[in-house]
Amino acid sequence: MGPLPAQGSPAYSRLDFSNAYRLQREDGYPNARSAKGNEAGDFVYKVFPLEVLGRGEDIRVSGVRISFSVDDSYQGNFPVSLGVPEIAFFPVKLGKAGGLRVELPQLGRRLKRSLQPPGISVLSDGIFATELRLGPKQPDPRLRTPVVLPAKDPQGNPQGWAVALMAPRGEVLGKGKPLFVPMPSFGEIHRVPGSSTFSGFYDARKKRFLPFGTPGAPSNQGELGVELFLDGPVLQVFSDASGGVRGDPNRVETHMGPGAYRNGLGSSVLGGFVGFYTQWENQEGKGLLCLPLITTLGARRPTGTWSLGAVRLLLDPGRAGALFLLPQVGLVGGLTRYKARGVAGHSSDQKGVYVTPRIPVPASPSLAGQSLWLQSLLLRPGLGFAGSSNLVLLRF
């Protein structure tokens, strides 16, 4: 059985790849505080790398969630109306910028389609998130269908993608106007051999990238507060090694930042936990079982596929000795409603979720540096396979 056909609106399955906490720090765009303001082509971006976003088929983006604040220089009345920046998509490749070797948007390969969200009304200053959900109920016909991101480049190589918030030309922060300001997350941990940052600026005036953590750009303590919604199953890793607030008393830290995927727990004195969170948002209550699988062992990305009807697992058979390890230890369950402040830390209910318990990871020299590729398989008992998630890399 192939993937379930779309019925009405697409699924809005969340891919966070960031911590829940946000910094009260207004970074804006690279030229936002200059006399001339934003240059045409300025943007701030967030990379969703291949090790988190990879799939066996094209990626269908059904929405975007952006963290923002109102320019602190505005001292007027609320509520206020804000414009939301244009959202663009770029495939990424490894490059060097600001002395760092990181994945950068490929300027010459920008996706033809971009998104212009409608304006929003804000009741007060603070840190908020605005969501753009694509679908048939959108008044603007350009916002009614998902954005399709090719999973492979023109040469057939798998690719990751960056989401860019394009700077409104000529806009200047700090002048007392109510302007939309993108916000970063807090406490992100980046461990070698992972990237030192997944976010940054592009300065069109100087024609250069400024990754977070380089001079003139924000500290890499945070990532740009951008999350994706995908039309289909989504797998995420959560871990107390991702950053944020360890043992958060308010239980709002999702621990889904970059450190969850390259967590260093094998060499940690304290060890820690990991967990696996799978969502297929519009399939709640439809009897689907989720099987998080270890499909391939080792740091090298699998290049083979195993077709189960129209559903694909990405694996290399010679390195898939632990393919069914997770179901064997009992980590399998049905898609149900995730209740707020549950094991994964989300502060709101989420539909169509299977989340594992927090799995203890001991400090272990034999575990340190081990790499696993994971993918969730969705099964309708008695009828066959219904879907598969993105492929992710987990390194201890």
Contact indicator for 59, 53 with CB cutoff of 8 Å: yes
DSSP 50: H
What is the per-residue pLDDT for 322?
Answer: 65
Q: What is the DSSP string of 140-204?
A: SGGGSSPEEEPSB-TTS-B--EEEEEEPPTT--TTSS---EEE-BBS-B---TTS-S-SEEEEET
Tell me the pLDDT tens digit for each residue of 381-392: 888 899 999 999
Contact indicator for 129, 18 with CB cutoff of 8 Å: no
CA 335 from chain centre, in angstroms, equals: 21
- For residue 52, the SS3 value is helix
Tell me the pLDDT tens digit for each residue of 24-46: 778 889 999 999 999 999 999 99
CA distances from 371 to 47, 101, 206, 237 (A): 21, 21, 39, 13
Contact indicator for 173, 73 with CB cutoff of 8 Å: yes
22 token code pair: 């946000």
Provide the sign of the torsion angle of the four alpha carbons 101, 27, 62, 90, taken in this order: negative
What is the per-residue pLDDT for 6?
Answer: 44
Q: Which residues of the chain have pLDDT under 50?
A: 1-7
DSSP 265: G
CA 301 from chain centre, in angstroms, equals: 19
Nearby residues of 213 by Cβ (< 8 Å), 6 or more positions away: 98, 100, 196, 197, 219, 220
User: Rounded CA gap, 355 and 344, in Å?
Assistant: 7
Residues in the chain: 396
Q: Any idea where the domains of the chain sit in the sequence?
A: 9-231, 233-396
What is the per-residue pLDDT for 44?
Answer: 98
